[in-house]
Structure 1
Amino acid sequence: MKPLASLAVDVLDAGSRPRAGRTPCHIGTNLTFTTELLESYCLREWEPIIYDALIVMGAVEFCDRIFRRPVQHWGREIELRIPVHEPERWNASEVSRALHDALCFVTGDRWSLSFIARRTPFTLPKQVPIPIASDIDAVIPFSDGLDSCAVAGLMHKQMGDRMMRVRLGTKRFCSPESTEKQPFTSIPYKVKRTNSKFVESSARSRGFKFAMVSGLAAYLVQANRIIVPESGQGALGPALVPVGQTYEDYRNHPMFMSRMEKVLFALYGRRICYAFPRIWYTKGETLDSFVKECCDGPAWATTWSCWQPNYQVSVEHKKRQCGVCAACQLRRMSVHAAGLSERPDTYVWENLKASSFNEGAAGGFTHVLKAQYQYAIAGTLHLAELSALQEDQMNNGTIKLAASQLAKALSLTESEAGARLARLLSQHKREWNGFLDALGESSFIVKWTRRS
């Protein structure tokens, strides 16, 4: 067997040097912290585990993004050494086993992490403890996405102030004009590469990062539950129907989160579980429930689903969502299923009824990229293959295995998991076919599905 492509990285605090043959990752240069935002994680008093956990997240992301995956196979071998305040805590066998299991599972890589003592302890320049209620039952990771908005609204209706939001990303969700300090307003660090751009975009380590951030927040507010806002297609679809020959995407899957529960217990000594209130529903069903049940239902229209960068999806210097990647097509299908509509200028590809890909783009969009065409085809075929999964008896084994794995991860019987998965796939098929019918036979999207 051909050996895996390998990378060795030493994370360095002030005054440290990398070992021979190791790539340096400098704290303060490659991993930078925002003091004000870091304070939002200091709810009562400073704990070294807060900083150490954030350093581990950033170091893993750095390794994942600087190391391009090989063309012929997916996996890589990554060795990472990190300075922390409590190396004995991180090197403990229970933590090490759980951490390696979760990281290897979610990324498809082979990781080897070790921890050494920091040369000097990190001290927070100032600290203003943030008062929080003592009856927080759950935290929910919160982003600009449609599922995030809808599920946060639905769960807030049930739980009120017993649920706390944890921001994923560097953009704050609180008002910058507000003088009241709020917890977890943004992830307080950024990852940068020295003198060049990151080369790997698969970003499987983001699942680890977001699970760790929400786990740290749950530990700090003494909550015993983390609400995962993904609906069924987003949580299960990427593992059921992987793209091409890539490793299955488990970033929002219960099988990964069950591994992260073991990491949190080993690291913090507390039982914290990940809950999936909308995993057996489509995004369209979740959106429909949010609009009908929540007073802030119109907020869904301000959410963002597309992941493409500004320079690729701007029309006349105004950023739009692309409208054709897998995430955008799932969004548009879900909006249609919920009986809602959006302004055409929400997307670069305003008209999915157009007979050709280029004709569907906005008039002011002049630089159609080959990559966008490929993303659009991949997104279309992913949603189409997921809708056809139950039609081919050859997929029965895949579906049965998925149901068995979900049953174990979610403490269900296999028959319960199988029935719920079958209903989800059937509903996705109805919504997808309804979306295609609305586009019409001349649509380039519909033509692509017919060719497959």
Structure 2
Amino acid sequence: MRIALTVLAADRSVLRAGGGSNWNQRHFELEIPVSDPEPWTATAEALEKVLAFLSGDKWALTFTAQSKDQPPAPTVTNPVPPTRVVLLSGGADSALGALQSRRLLGDGEHHVLLSHFSNTMLPPIQRHIAADIERLAPRRGQQHRIVRLARGRHRIDGTAYPSETTTRSRSFLFIALGLAVASIHRVPLWIPENGFASINPPLGFERLGSLSTRTTHPAFLQDLSTAVSAAGAHADIHNPFAQLTKGQMFRDAADVLGAEEASAFLSSTHSCGLTGQRAHRIPPARQCGICFGCVLRRASFTAAGVADRTDYIAPSTAAVDRDHG
């Protein structure tokens, strides 16, 4: 967690400048306090390569011994191990992964849904999805944990941090949170994402490298798991939808839930990659309809033959706002 938090803070605080095919590659040198520097130092080079693949930057990691004044160890509130931990972002893929996980639970089993946010519009969506899953797959155990973690706005001296918006390392923090929870009982961590978006082939020559996100790319997950395991940490990571397209996932949901129920469930999820709606006096939870995430989502509804009830900004299903439209 310390490594992931330090990486995200650096990623958010150093702006990418200018143009170029290397997507404005930055060089980071980080010194990170950990409980035992030796195993992390031994795997530093592997972690640097993992981060470079994810963000397109160059990373140099140095590990030091943490302060002896540490908070007490966390209390295990439920001594019965969950079957698995599932990342629940609020998107359609994570919602379907959480639903499938709950449906697979046997008698007496439970799972943990873990959500993370920095944008406050996400928790209501995440809670709604978790409640829907309880309704759609009853009589099975479920815990839902929501964690807010974000870099502060100001430095120690009171000056404002710059804010880089690309932040490819957000996924690294989300995965680290999931592994932290899964490590308590050493159970698998599910990161549900369709195979097409995981590979995320560039749509043009201008989208080569990390210009296309590698959040759940098989190479990233495999190399991260290998590096973290080498340091002695828990790294049992699975993507249950690696072999499926998003359209196939939506079609499977319709087969299980019925077309109407699947439409309502999937339409309540959030796939939009943009957050600038507030500047136009539009609620940030409303999805744009034209970013890559929205286009893939809309195509998946169509491919599955499931009605899309999402109220997108463009094209909109609502009446045009003459003042702000």
Task: Please say whether Structure 1 and Structure 2 have the same fold, judged by a TM-score greater than 0.5.
Answer: yes
- Structure 1 stretches lacking a partner, 5+ long: 1-52, 176-181, 353-360, 369-452
Runs ≥4 residues deviating over 4 A? 170-175, 365-368
Is 1:101 the counterpart of 2:49? The answer is yes
AA aligned opposite 2:37:
P
SS in 2 for 1:166: strand
Residues of 2 paired with 1:257 and 1:286: CA distance? 21
Residues of 1 paired with 2:86 and 2:5: CA distance? 21
Residues of 2 paired with 1:365 and 1:69: CA distance? 37
Rg comparison, structure with higher value = 1
AA aligned opposite 2:237:
Y
Cα displacement (A) at 1:325: 0.9
- Among the aligned pairs, what percent are the same residue? 25
Cα displacement (A) at 1:65: 1.3
Cα displacement (A) at 1:304: 0.7
Kept in 2, the 8 Å contact 1:153–1:290? The answer is: no
- Greater helix percent: which structure? 1
Cα displacement (A) at 1:100: 1.6
1:247-286 alignment runs, 5 A limit:
247-248=209-210, 249-270=213-234, 272-286=235-249
The one of 55, 59, 66 aligned to 2:13: 66
Residues of 2 paired with 1:282 and 1:220: CA distance? 32
TM-score (norm 1): 0.57
Where does residue 255 of structure 2 map in the other structure? 292
Name the count of aligned residue pairs.
Answer: 293
Residues of 2 paired with 1:78 and 1:318: CA distance? 32
Residues of 2 paired with 1:337 and 1:266: CA distance? 42
Is 1:158 the counterpart of 2:122? The answer is no
Is 1:348 the counterpart of 2:298? The answer is no
Is 1:85 the counterpart of 2:31? The answer is no
The 1:105/1:127 distance shift into structure 2, 3 A limit, reads closer
The 1:83/1:269 distance shift into structure 2, 3 A limit, reads closer
RMSD: 3.1
The one of 224, 236, 239 aligned to 2:199: 236
Cα distance per residue 1:79-106 (max 9 Å; x no partner): 0112333333432x1x323322211221
Cα distance per residue 1:325-348 (max 9 Å; x no partner): 11111111112222222346x111
Cα distance per residue 1:366-386 (max 9 Å; x no partner): 567xxxxxxxxxxxxxxxxxx
Cα displacement (A) at 1:109: 1.2
1:322-401 alignment runs, 5 A limit:
322-343=288-309, 346-351=311-316, 363-364=320-321
The 1:100/1:68 distance shift into structure 2, 3 A limit, reads same
SS in 2 for 1:278: coil
Cα distance per residue 1:279-326 (max 9 Å; x no partner): 2222122112123314874322211111322414644x5741111111
Residues of 2 paired with 1:188 and 1:347: CA distance? 27
SS in 2 for 1:202: coil
The 1:138/1:319 distance shift into structure 2, 3 A limit, reads closer
